[in-house]
Amino acid sequence: MKNWLGWIAATLAVAVVVHVASVMFLPRAIMLRTMGGIVRGAHGANHMVFGARPTAANRGVVRPSPDLLYSSCVYNLQRGGGAVRVRASGMPRTYWSVSVFDADTNNIFVENDRKAGDHVDFLIVAPGFGQGSGLPTVESPTRAGIVLFRTLIDDDKRLPELDAARRHASCEAYRAD
């Protein structure tokens, strides 16, 4: 009997370890899969991809908003020489935001049109990275992650105009002049 209790305890211990490990690893795994999809669409890291308006046919990211245009980029600080520059100008007059997610799904930065107006320009850097550019910086605790622009379609008739304007956003390896 005592012997069986030992085996049962060992089984439960394995179950607990597997459960905790899978719960902890799941976000990173899902982010890796999502980043892989964006990189394929953009033909590489540190390039923006401009997604079409979400419909039921979209199977990239769960629970998309059908009222937003999503523009995304996988930043990779290693491939970007330690910093990635994100900028946009001439953004449309509607709600828009730019957000940065690290590889653990944390939303480490967000700014919207109320504060930024029609433009934004900042660097994503590794902690301690000295760049001296004078640009605002966002420190990423992970070497890769996702930059996501959301642009609200406040009127379906404006879709072509909004789609054209949001394509002013870019994401690229930073090169100090």
Partner 1 sequence: MRTFLKILGVLVIGVVLGLAATWATVIRGGWGGAVSDGPWKTSLTVGSSEGGMYQRASVAVHGLLALNRSETIYYTANTDSAGEPLRADAHCPYRIDGRDLPARWWSITAYGADDYLIPNAAGRYSVTKNSVIQRNRDSFVANVSVDPSPENWIPVTKGPFSLSIRLYNPDPKVAADPAHIALPTITSSCGT
Stretch 145-164 residues interacting with partner 1 (CB under 8 A): 146, 148, 152, 154-155
Stretch 27-86 residues interacting with partner 1 (CB under 8 A): 27, 30-31, 34, 54-59, 61-67
Stretch that binds partner 1, among 40-48, 77-85, 102-110, 122-130 (CB under 8 A): 102-110
Question: Are 80 and 46 in contact, with CB atoms under 8 Å apart?
Answer: yes
Helix H or strand E encompassing 151: strand 144-152
Cα–Cα dist 68/65, whole Å: 6
Stretch that binds partner 1, among 40-48, 78-86, 105-113, 117-125 (CB under 8 A): 105-113
| Residue with Cβ nearer partner 1 (7 or 134) | 7
Among 50, 79, 87, 112, binds partner 1 (CB under 8 A): 112
Q: Is 166 exposed, middle or buried (0-12, 13-18, 19+ CB in 10 A)?
A: buried
Cα–Cα dist 95/102, whole Å: 23
HEC secondary structure over 23-50: HHHHHHHHHHHHHHHHHHHHCCCCCEEE
The binding site for partner 1 (CB under 8 A) comprises 7, 10-24, 26-27, 30-31, 34, 54-59, 61-67, 95, 97, 99, 101, 104-107, 110, 112, 114, 146, 148, 152, 154-155
